[in-house]
Structure 1
């Protein structure tokens, strides 16, 4: 299943904290990408945060994956998880034939 994980910074991170956390965050995120749990990722341009398009078995797996990331575990970022599916109303166009 596809899940859109929208990350919002909820606690400012100091330069010192960033220096401690990011060397762990980047490899942990890369591992999720290499394990094919994160299919695509972006940096938000409207405010600090990230967006992941995830390929997971369940919403619970997506939640466990992002909650294990160091920035999330440290309370700096929270994710809104949105399950995605096919655009079902398009099926009505096929039925109309």
Structure 2
């Protein structure tokens, strides 16, 4: 199952508080990517956070991976997790 995870800088957090965690966060993201759990990661255009696509068996597994992220541990990012299902709407194109 896939999960869209939106991580945003916690309200009241200055960018200077975030910067020390950029390299450790990237290292952990790479580890999750190499283990086939993190499928993609993108900055939000205004750099207020990031959007990640995770592959996991369930929500608890995703939350456990998020909890390992250095920025989550430091409390400088808040995360919203959205479970996804395959879109089946195009099936209507093939119904006779």
Fold agreement, TM-score > 0.5: yes
The Cα shift of 1:17 comes to 5.8
Q: Which runs of 5+ in 2 are unaligned?
A: none
Q: 1:6 to 1:23 in 2, by over 3 A?
A: same
**Which residue of 2 is the match for residue 40 of structure 1?**
40
**Which residue of 1 is the match for residue 27 of structure 2?**
27
Aligned mates of 2:22, 2:14 — CA distance in 1: 11
TM-score by length of 1: 0.83
1:60 aligns with 2:60: yes
The Cα shift of 1:18 comes to 2.4
Aligned mates of 1:39, 1:9 — CA distance in 2: 21
Cα-Cα RMSD: 1.9
Aligned mates of 2:40, 2:17 — CA distance in 1: 28
**Which residue of 2 is the match for residue 18 of structure 1?**
19
Q: 1:64 to 1:45 in 2, by over 3 A?
A: same
The Cα shift of 1:85 comes to 1.0
